[in-house]
Chain A
Amino acid sequence: MTQFLQYTLQGLAAGGFYALAALGLAVIFGVLGVVNFSHGACYMLGAMISALLLEHFSLGFWPALVIVPVIMFFVGVLVERLLVQWLLRLDPLYNFLLTFGLTLLTVDIMKRQFGVSSLKYEVPAGLGGRISLGSVDLSIYQLFAAAFAVVICLLVWVGLTKTRVGMIVRAATEDAERSRALGINVARWVTPVFGFGIALAGLAGVLAAPYRAINADMGSNFIIILFAIVVIGGLGSILGAVVAGFLVGLVEAYGQGYYGQLSQVLIFVLMAAVVLVRPAGLFGREEAA
């Protein structure tokens, strides 16, 4: 029981990073039709920049939580304006290849600059240590990370469901062409949405920094899991991305806890099972598949 609770918390914390990043991936795919392969690299950059801010500017975790998403937002805006937008008219595959190329480039540049060994990052003061609830002993930072991710997901959800911009993003995510034909200038939202999605990936990176190994390669496994999440949740479903993000976090944690090395396999077994039963994913619409 104790173990189970610990794994659950671990799963929710990891699921939080996944959910945030997958949310970004989903809105980008929805509005631009682009599958952003560089999402894992953006997550890595989020963690790396946090570590660099600490090392060179003594800016710790709390400032990083704000600064990094802002930086990543502008990185996203820049990439969209300079590169992505020119390929939007072509087959979506071109942008997939572009973001794949950008990933290789980013990862190699980071390796060159910072080597392959992991950078150090401390759990922020006040969030270190463990807390005992009865017989259960939980990491405070993981509690924080899980709660923080849930809060951000809720905020994004409120923004998506209660504001006009959110309604437009949801509509464009469901069917961008139709939204245009109804008079919505979808193009106007393309750049901010891309930036926003990248910022979410960066934010996930900051959250991961205090307890994951920070190095240039940390995004490569992450992106594979993100794709599994998107498939499980349903490509183009925002709610699906969040739910599947947490779900995969949990499966991974239970897998690690109870079966050791099997955890990654379990994720893909889950994916295969979902696809067998619902080819469009848990929250995907069948005709969209």
Chain B
Amino acid sequence: MSDTLLRVEDLSAFYGEAQVLRNVSLDVAHGEVVTLVGRNGAGKTTLLRSIMGLHKGTRGVVALDGQSLDGKSADKRARLGLGWVPDNRGIYATLSVSENLSLPPVVDKSAAWSLDRIYEQFPVLHERRDFPGTKLSGGEQQMLAMARPLRAGSRLLLLDEPSEGLAPVIVNQIGQIIRDIKAQGVAVLLVEQNVKFASTVADRHNLLAQGEVVASLDNDEFHSRTTELLEHLGM
């Protein structure tokens, strides 16, 4: 068995006739943080939705641990270890914070964080455990959205622009959380527009422009060529 946890190969996605992703290929190793960087409308969310099995017009290969996810429903994919953290955070307003945390079924007993451990890592969530989920601030909601799949024991988090709309201090906190998550051996596929933020948390980067991956590079290279790459992406 190779080290690859998630493999995406030649993935194309369509909205009706319009093609928004063209033969996208990327992979994420166990415990690795990989980004997909691209500007507004580049197709980042669509890629995550395709990986989750939520986007109907998808062609190509998505495999987890060498096992193709083709034809598998979204809930099956989640139970195989994919932890989706949508761009709107996806917090339930009608559920309390603690209910939001315990809603997803535990997918891997040995990897799942206990509620106690979650609360230790995210003290605010403990403070607010009986609040309706959407009464939290944006940053707190983002933490809750990231804590939720950890509690379920997901092996790979799919983070959709976690830094969006948050103050710089909070963005730093989110960055630290991602590094902590990685230290626990959980892999992350991070979709971002915030290049600076992406470069503080990731091992490798994929640049997405007009639905195509135009460059794949490691973090050092990414650092040294940031300006040039951003121009290339039109950002």
Which residues of A approach B to under 8 Å, CB–CB? 167-168, 170-171, 173-175, 177-187, 238, 285
What residues of chain A lie closer than 8 Å to B74, measured between beta carbons?
177, 180-181
Partner of B93 from the list A174, A177, A185, A238 (CB cut-off 8 Å) is A174
Given contacts A183-B79, A183-B152, A186-B75, contact A178 B94 (CB under 8 A): no
List 5 A–B pairs whose Cβ atoms lie within 8 Å, in order of A's numbering.
Answer: A167-B102, A181-B78, A182-B149, A182-B152, A184-B104
What residues of chain B lie closer than 8 Å to A285, measured between beta carbons?
93
A174 and B152 contact, CB distance less than 8 A: no
What residues of chain B lie closer than 8 Å to A238, measured between beta carbons?
94
A171 and B95 contact, CB distance less than 8 A: yes
Indicate whether B90 reaches chain A with its CB closer than 8 angstroms: yes
Q: How far is the CB of A109 from chain B (nearest CB, A)?
A: 37
Known: A171-B95, A181-B86. 18 other contacts (CB 8 A): A167-B99, A171-B92, A174-B92, A175-B90, A175-B92, A177-B54, A178-B90, A180-B78, A181-B54, A182-B78, A182-B84, A182-B103, A182-B149, A183-B79, A183-B105, A183-B107, A184-B104, A238-B94
Given contacts A180-B75, A181-B74, contact A167 B95 (CB under 8 A): yes
Q: How far is the CA of A184 from the CA of B105 in the complex (A)?
A: 7
Q: How far is the CA of A226 from the CA of B107 in the complex (A)?
A: 40
Which residues of B approach A to under 8 Å, CB–CB? 52, 54, 73-75, 78-79, 84, 86, 90, 92-95, 99, 102-105, 107, 148-149, 152
In the A-B complex, list the 4 residue pairs whose CB atoms are closest, starting with the nearest: A183-B78, A182-B104, A180-B74, A180-B75
What residues of chain B lie closer than 8 Å to A177, measured between beta carbons?
54, 74
What residues of chain A lie closer than 8 Å to B104, measured between beta carbons?
182-184
B94 and A173 contact, CB distance less than 8 A: yes
B94 and A168 contact, CB distance less than 8 A: no
Specify the chain A residue showing the minimal Cβ separation from B84: A181
Specify the chain A residue showing the minimal Cβ separation from B158: A181
A184 and B54 contact, CB distance less than 8 A: no
Q: How far is the CA of A147 from the CA of B27 in the complex (A)?
A: 60
B95 and A180 contact, CB distance less than 8 A: no
Specify the chain A residue showing the minimal Cβ separation from B53: A181
What residues of chain A lie closer than 8 Å to B148, measured between beta carbons?
182
B105 and A174 contact, CB distance less than 8 A: no
What residues of chain B lie closer than 8 Å to A187, measured between beta carbons?
73, 75
Given contacts A170-B95, A177-B54, contact A184 B90 (CB under 8 A): no
Q: How far is the CB of A156 from chain B (nearest CB, A)?
A: 14
Partner of A168 from the list B54, B84, B93, B103 (CB cut-off 8 Å) is B103
What residues of chain B lie closer than 8 Å to A174, measured between beta carbons?
92-95
What residues of chain A lie closer than 8 Å to B94, measured between beta carbons?
170-171, 173-174, 238
Q: How far is the CA of A181 from the CA of B55 in the complex (A)?
A: 11
What residues of chain A lie closer than 8 Å to B86, measured between beta carbons?
178, 181
B52 and A181 contact, CB distance less than 8 A: yes
Specify the chain A residue showing the minimal Cβ separation from B149: A182
Q: How far is the CA of A187 from the CA of B74 in the complex (A)?
A: 11
Q: How far is the CA of A181 from the CA of B92 in the complex (A)?
A: 13
Q: How far is the CB of B186 from chain A (nearest CB, A)?
A: 16
Q: How far is the CA of A187 from the CA of B76 in the complex (A)?
A: 11
Q: How far is the CA of A178 from the CA of B104 in the complex (A)?
A: 11
Q: How far is the CB of A128 from chain B (nearest CB, A)?
A: 41
Specify the chain B residue showing the minimal Cβ separation from A237: B94
Q: How far is the CB of A41 from chain B (nearest CB, A)?
A: 29
B103 and A184 contact, CB distance less than 8 A: yes
Q: How far is the CA of A30 from the CA of B93 in the complex (A)?
A: 14
Q: How far is the CA of A251 from the CA of B75 in the complex (A)?
A: 43
Q: How far is the CA of A180 from the CA of B104 in the complex (A)?
A: 9
What residues of chain A lie closer than 8 Å to B73, measured between beta carbons?
180, 187
